[in-house]
Amino acid sequence: MPGKPLETSNIDPTSMCISWKPSTSSGSSDISSYIIERRDALKAHWIPVKKVSSNQYSLLIPELTEGSSYCFRVCAVNEDDLQSEWLESDTPALCRNPYDVPSPPKNLIVNEIIGQTVRIQWDPPENDGGKPIRAYIIERRDALRTTWLKEARCKTTTYEIESLPLGAQHIIRVTAENEEGLSATCEIDKPIQIDAKDSKKFLSNFF
């Protein structure tokens, strides 16, 4: 029998690689090849995949279906054409995209308000989903409304939102983006409000 364990790696939506150890016993003659079979985890029928040489201990298996789980098995064949017992994978392997959207940005705060300009700051996501963060999306809305307005798309973890309307309460949120898509959002703890007197103070600095 091929050596344990039978492992899977390099999984993507339509293929994965399996690997095993060399057989430790060949019987009456040398090992000549290995036979690989697969089956859908929800079915009982095994499907032949390939027969490989005795010095090959891994195989990339293509043409799989995304979202399906597969079981694999391998047996050794010696020069007398006798087969060993099958070595089977311990658990089914799910064929899926190995990458994901990021986790949300963290610790979004307002660290400065000058007039109608608000400076916000946040920390990057704990998990980038396996792909680099390529941008952050900044949005705001009136606390009394449900529609979000896109303010900007930036690559840094700080941003200044300018010309916020006076008198209203504003909610701000940030989303991280990678090649796979958008994270969940991170919102400020409570709405902020820009008062007319604060705006006048800011403007007075310029006269």
Band (202; pLDDT cuts 50, 70, 90) = very low
Q: Rounded to two decimals, what is the model's pTM?
A: 0.67
Q: Which residue from 59, 50, 54 is spatially nearest to 16, judged by alpha carbons? A: 59
Tell me which of 3.40.50.2300, 3.30.830.10, 1.20.140.10, 2.60.40.10 is the CATH number of domain 3-94.
2.60.40.10
Mean pLDDT of the chain: 90
Superfamily assignment of 106-204 in CATH? Answer: Immunoglobulins (2.60.40.10)
- Report the pLDDT averaged over residues 12-41: 90
Whether residue 200 has pLDDT greater than 60: no
Check whether 187 has a pLDDT greater than 60.
yes
- Residue 206: pLDDT above 50? no
Spatial distance between the Cα atoms of 178 and 125, rounded to a whole number of angstroms:
11
Domain ranges of the chain: 3-94, 106-204
- Would you say residue 167 has pLDDT above 90? no
Q: Do domains 3-94 and 106-204 have the same CATH topology?
A: yes
Block residue for tokens 């064929």? 95
For residue 205, give every residue at least 6 positions away whose Cβ sits within 8 Å of its Cβ, in sequence order, or none: none
Rounded-to-integer distance, Cα 113 and Cα 193, Å: 10
